Structure 1
Amino acid sequence: MKVNIISRNIIKPCIPTPLHLRTYKLSILDQLAPSFHSTLILFYQSNSNQKDNHNIASQFLEKSHHLQDSLSKTLVNFYPFAGQVRDSSTIDCNDHGAYFVEAQINCQLIDFLSKPEPENVLLLSPTTDPKSSKVALDYVLLVQLTAFNCGSFAIAVSASHKINDASSLFTFIQGWTSVARRDAKLVVPELNYGASFLPPREIQNAGMKEQSLLNPGNFHCITKRFVFNATKIAALKAKIASAMEHGQHSPSSVDALTALLFKSAMAANRSISGSPFPTVLHHATNLRARMNPPLPANAIGNLIRPSSMLFKGNETELHELVANIRKQLAEFNDEMANKLKGDEGSDLICRLLMESGGLLSSMTNMTSTSLCQLPLYNLDFGWGNPVWVTSPLYLPNVILLLRTKQGDAIEAWITLEENVMALVERDEELLAFASLNPSAFPNHSRL
C-alpha cells in the first residue's frame, strides 16, 4: 500500500492565547514521560454512494476544511496543544499551531480493514511520514486525514506524551468532535491540573529514565494484533476462576487477557533462554478515579503511574499471574495512590525512581495498558461514529488492549522481539482464546 501526501498545513487557534496563559507548567509525571507522540486512529465509512472520483475528491476537501476550521476553534480551549515544548518543565503556549496533513491511500476501506496489518496501519500516522516526522518534536499536536478510494477516511490524532496520556488524548478528541458537531455544550479541558497536583522537579534527562525502565533497549521488534471475542473471554475467565482460591472474585476481562498475553511472552523468553528469569510487569494505572477525592475525568496531563509487579519466573499458571496482578493493584490503590499528590508526592516519585532504577534495568520489563474504559466509538465529527479505532503503539515489550466496536470483544496489540513473537504467535494456549488479526470491518468480522 502507498500513501500520497496531498498537503501540509499549520492550524492555529482562531483566537490568540492571552499572555497570562503563555506558560504551561508540566507536572513531575509529564517530565518523566518519554518524548514521543501517542496516536489514536479513527476510521469512518463513507455514507455516500458516490463513485465518481471528482465528487469523492470534492467531498474529501469539504471534510478537510470542516476539520481544519473546527480544529482551529478547538485549540482556543486546548491552547497548550498549539504550543511548543520548550524545556523539561514548560510548554510555551505561543500559538505555534497544530500540524495538519492531508493524504490519500490507494485502496478501499473494506480491503484495508479485512486484515489490518500493523505496518499498514502505521502508514496513516503523521509521525511516520518522513517529512512530518522531521518536524514532529516541534509540534505538540499532529493530525493526518487520509482518504480511501471509496470515499471513506481515517483521522489520526498524535499528541506529545509530554502533555497527554490516553485519557487526555480522548478528552481532546471529544472536545474537537463537540466543536465539529456544533454542540451547544462543548467538552472543555481541566488544564494546569497536573502541575498543581504533582509539581515539577529538576530532573536530568527527564523522560529518559522512565523510558529506560519501561521500554529498555533497541530491539528488532514486531507487532501483532490478537482479537478475543466475548465467548472466548468468558471461557478464559471461567478457567482462571475455577483454579482460584475459594472466596476470590472472578478476574476482570483486562486482568485475564493481560495475564494470558504476559504468560505467553514469558514462556517464549524462557524457551529461548533455556531457564526462567525475573520479569517485571508495569501496568499503567489511571490516577484520576483512584484519588480521594477523584480527579476530574477531563484533567489534561500524564495522570497515570505504572503499578509494577515482579514475577520470578516460576509463576506459570494463569490464576497465579492474575492473583499477583490484583494484589499489586490493590496495594497501589490502598497504599500508594493517595500519596502521589503535592510536593511530597513529587519527591516520593523521584525517590522511588532512583531506588528502583538499577534493579529494574537488570531485568526484563513489560508494560501493559488498557483503553477499554474509554468510549472510543462515540467520537462523531458529524458524519457518524467510527467503524474502527486503534492506537498503534510500537514500543518494545508493550501490551495494549482496546474494545472493539461491538463492545464485548477486545483486541490486543503486542510488540515483542521478533524471535519472541515467533513463538507467541504459535502459542496453542493463546490461540485457543484468540484470533490472529481477523477482519476489523464490523459487517465482515467473524471472530
Structure 2
Amino acid sequence: MVSIERSCIVKPNEQTPDVKLRLSECDQIKPYTHAPTFYIYPPQNIDSNKSISSPFHTLKISLSHVLVPYYPLAGRLNLIGGGRFVLNCNGLGAEIFEAESQSEIKDLGDFRPTSETRKLIPTVDYTEDISELPLLLVQLTRFKCGGISIGVAISHIVADGKGALEFISSWANFARGENKLVVEPYHDRNVFYKGDPLSKPRFDHHELKAFPTLIGHDDAEEERKKECTNTMLKLSKTQVNKLKEMANEGKDATSRHYSRYEAIAAHIWRCASKSRKLQNAQLTSLRVPVDCRNRLKPTLPQGYYGNAVMVTSPIAEVGKLMLGLGDACDIIRQSAEMFNDDYIKSSIDFLANQEDLTKRRAGFHTDSQKGLFLGNPNVTITSWLGLTIYDADFGWGKPIFMGPAGLGFDGKSFVIPVSDEDGSFVIPIRLQVTHMDDFKKLFYQDICCAHRKQIVATVNNDDCNLYE
C-alpha cells in the first residue's frame, strides 16, 4: 500500500521566457501521456549520507533551480486543432509528491512493471483539461526498510528518452550541489525540419500507417481486448555474446558484423512470433525507435530538447524470420539503414500532410480515442543502451535499478543494461497471457542449446532460468 503524504507545485526560482514553442511533427506524433519510469535507492545509501536531512526538500529545491534552464517542463500543452499541440511556457510548474509505502524494496522482486510499480508514479487524470495538466510529475516514495524510489512522469510529446535523461542527470547534479548542467538544453524546435504540406512524401511510410493484423482478421479489435501480462527476463554477458555469435555465424572477418542490440532485438522478434504460433505467411512488424539527431543534415544542435526519435518498422513474413537469427538481423539492419536525411524529411512531409494526427499516435488508448494498435502479430523494442540511465545520483548514491513502471500494450519491450555495467541486460516485456510461458521458454532455449552443442560453457541455473 502506498499513501500520498503531501504534494506541492514547484516553479522555476527565476523568471523564465513566457513564450509558446512550436512543436515539430516528430513531437506531435508522440502520445501526450506521461512516460512512467522509476529509480530505486537502497537504505544504506540514504542512511550513510548524513548531509541529506530531507530527500523531499532536496528534490524540491534542486528542481526549482533546474527548471530555469528546462523551463518548457514547467509549462503546459495547449490543443490547437487537428490533434496537434503547442507548448505554452507559462511557468505554472511541475508537481512533486511525497509518499509512504508499507512494503520493502525486496517486495518489488525483480522490478518488473506491475500494479505495484505503477503506485510509485504520480497518477494523472487525462479526463481533465490538457492545458491544466503538469508536464512533469515526480513522486518520492519511502519504503519501510529505509529505501526510497523516485518515480518520474514526463509528457512524451515534450521530450524523448535522451532529453528526459539529460534533464534527470542535470537535476541530480543540482541536488548534489554541483549546480551544473550535463548539457545546455536547446529549445528552438524550428531547427528540426518543419515539413511542407505541399511537398509529397518520397517513400511509402508504412511505419506511420496501420500495422499488420492477423491473417483472416480485418482489424485488431479482438486482439486489443485480450488479457496481457508482464515479465522481466535477464541476459548475462555470456548469453548476449552467444546471441551475437549465433547472429554472425558464417560471416568472415571482413564482413560488418551484427551488433548486440540487433541480435537481441532479432531474438525477441523471433521468439514472440514462435510463441504466438504465427503462420509462416503471416506479416509481422518490429517497431524500433531511431534517433534522428545525427542522421539529419545538418545535424541537430547538441542539447536539442524535444523529440528527435522516429520509428523504423521492418515488416517480414514469419517464415523469413525463422530462416535464422542472422536473417532476422539483416531485415532489421536494412530498415534502419534507409532511415537517412531524405527518409526522415519525407516522414515529416507525410505527417505535415495529415489533417488530423489523433489516430496516428501509436500506443495511446482510451475508450473514445484509439491509436495505432501495435500488438499481436507485432513487436515494439526500445533500447536504452548508451543512455545515462544510472546517473541519477541526487546525493544518496546511484540507483540500483531504473526502468519503466508500466508497459502500455501487447508486444512492448525494452532492452536495459543493468546498473553494474557488467555487460548484462534485463528485458521487460508485455505479451498476452496465453503466449507468455512459451515465450519465456523459447527465449532461453536456443541460447542454452547452443551452449550445450558447442560446449562453450557450463550452463548453470542462473544462465538458463526460464521463469525469473
* TM range, smaller chain: 0.7 to 0.9
2:78 maps to a residue whose letter is: R
Residues 60-75 of structure 1 aligned to structure 2 (within 5 Å): 62-75=54-67
CA separation of 1:283 and 1:274: change in aligned 2, threshold 3 A: closer
Secondary structure of 1:263 counterpart: helix
8 Å CA contact 1:17–1:79 kept in 2: the answer is yes
For residues 395-428 of structure 1, give each alpha carbon's deviation from its aligned partner in whole angstroms, at most 9, with x where no partner exists. Answer: 2221211100122111111112222223212325
Aligned to 1:421: 436
Taking the aligned partners of 1:63 and 1:89, their CA distance within structure 2 comes to 35
CA gap 1:304/1:294 in 2 versus in 1, 3 angstroms = same
Q: After TM superposition, give the deviation of residue 429 of structure 1 in Å.
A: 2.3
- In the TM superposition, residue 80 of structure 1 has moved relative to its aligned partner by 1.0
Measure how far apart 1:382 and its partner are. 1.7
Deviations 1:42-65 (A, max 9, x none): 1112336969xxxx9x99871101
Which residues of 2 match residues 108-119 of structure 1 at below 5 A? 108-109=104-105, 111-112=106-107, 114-119=109-114
Q: 2:344 aligns to what?
A: 340
Partner-residue secondary structure (3-state), 1:77: coil
The reply on whether 1:402 has 2:402 as its aligned counterpart is no
Change (3 A) 1:295 1:91: same
**1:65-100 deviations in whole A, cap 9, x for unaligned?**
110111111111111111111012311111221121
CA separation in 1, counterparts of 2:126 and 2:295? 36
Query: Shift in Å at residue 198 of structure 1?
Result: 2.8
Q: Is the contact made by 1:261 and 1:430 (CA closer than 8 Å) also made in structure 2? A: no
Aligned to 1:256: 263
* Matching residue of 2:398: 385
2:187 pairs with 1:192: yes
Tell me whether 215-224 or 25-34 shows the greater mean CA deviation: 215-224
CA spacing shift, 1:364–1:62, aligned 2, 3 Å: same
- CA distance in 1: counterparts of 2:438 and 2:60, whole angstroms: 45
Deviation at 1:372, TM superposition (A): 0.9
Q: 1:285 aligns with which of 282, 285, 290?
A: 290
Shift in Å, 1:392: 3.2
Q: Which of the residues 144, 163, 186 maps onto 1:149? A: 144
Check if 1:167 corresponds to 2:162. yes
The TM-score, its normalising length taken from structure 2, stands at 0.78
Matched, 1:82 2:74: yes
Pick from 374, 379, 395: which aligns with 2:387? Answer: 374
- Residue in structure 2 matched with residue 122 of structure 1 by the alignment: 118
Pick aligned residue for 2:304 from 299, 302, 317: 299
Question: What is the DSSP-based 3-state SS (H/G/I as helix, E as strand, rest coil) of the residue aligned with 2:306?
Answer: coil
Give yes or no for contact 2:43–2:145 (8 Å, CA) kept in 1.
Answer: yes
Q: SS where residue 124 of structure 1 aligns?
A: coil
Q: Is the 8 A contact 2:243 2:447 kept in 1?
A: no
Whether 1:240 aligns to 2:247 is yes
Alpha carbons of structure 1 residues 117 and 187: separation in structure 2 relative to 1, 3 Å: closer
> CA distance change for structure 1 residues 223 and 59 in 2, over 3 Å: closer, same or farther?
farther
Distance 1:177 1:148 in 2: 21
Q: In structure 2, the residue corresponding to 1:39 is in which secondary structure?
A: strand
Q: Deviations over 1:230-279 (max 9, x none)?
A: 0111112112212457853332111111111110111122x2x5564100
Give the C-alpha shift of residue 164 in structure 1. Answer: 1.1
Aligned partners of 1:282 and 1:190: how far apart in 2?
28
Q: Is the contact made by 1:280 and 1:310 (CA closer than 8 Å) also made in structure 2? A: yes
Contact 1:398 1:414 in 2 (8 A): yes
Counterpart residue number, 2:230: 223
Q: Deviations over 1:140-160 (max 9, x none)?
A: 111111111122111111100
Aligned-residue offset at 1:185: 3.2
Secondary structure in structure 2 of the residue aligned to 1:24: strand
Pair 388,340 (structure 1): closer, same or farther in 2 beyond 3 Å: same
Which residue of 13, 17, 25 maps to 2:22?
25
Determine the C-alpha separation between the residues in 2 that align with 1:436 and 1:353.
47
Percent identity over paired residues: 25
Q: Is the 8 A contact 2:96 2:138 kept in 1?
A: yes
Structure 2's unaligned 5+ residue stretches are: 198-206, 214-219, 361-371, 449-462
* TM-aligned CA deviation for residue 113 of structure 1: 5.2
Instruction: Report the equivalent of 1:443.
Output: none
Using the alignment, how far apart are the partners of 1:7 and 1:210 within structure 2? Answer: 42
- Between stretches 226-235 and 210-219, larger displacement belongs to 210-219
Q: CA deviation at 1:298?
A: 2.3
What do the CA deviations read for 1:334-365 (whole angstroms, capped 9, x no partner)? xx335535xx76314446999xx8xx979843
Matched residue pairs, number?
A: 410
Higher helix share: 1
User: CA offsets, 1:22-58, max 9 Å, x none?
Assistant: 211110011111222112211112336969xxxx9x9
In structure 2, relative to structure 1, the CA distance for the partners of 1:350 and 1:182 (3 Å cut) is same
Unpaired stretches in structure 1, ≥5 consecutive residues: 203-208, 439-447
Q: 2:31 and 2:420 mapped to 1: Cα distance?
A: 33
Cross-structure match for 2:97: 101
Question: Equivalent residue for 2:335?
Answer: 328
Q: Kindly indicate whether residue 312 of structure 2 is the aligned counterpart of residue 313 of structure 1.
A: no
What amino acid is the match of 2:35? S
* Alignment partners' CA distance in 1, 2:373 and 2:155: 25
Q: Take 1:430 and 1:103, find their aligned partners in 2: how far apart are those partners?
A: 44
Q: Distance in 1 between matches of 2:406 and 2:46?
A: 34
Cα distance in 2 for partners of 1:254, 1:320 equals 15
Which stretch shows the higher mean deviation, 182-191 or 393-402? 182-191
| Distance in 1, Cα, partners of 2:212 & 2:308 | 16
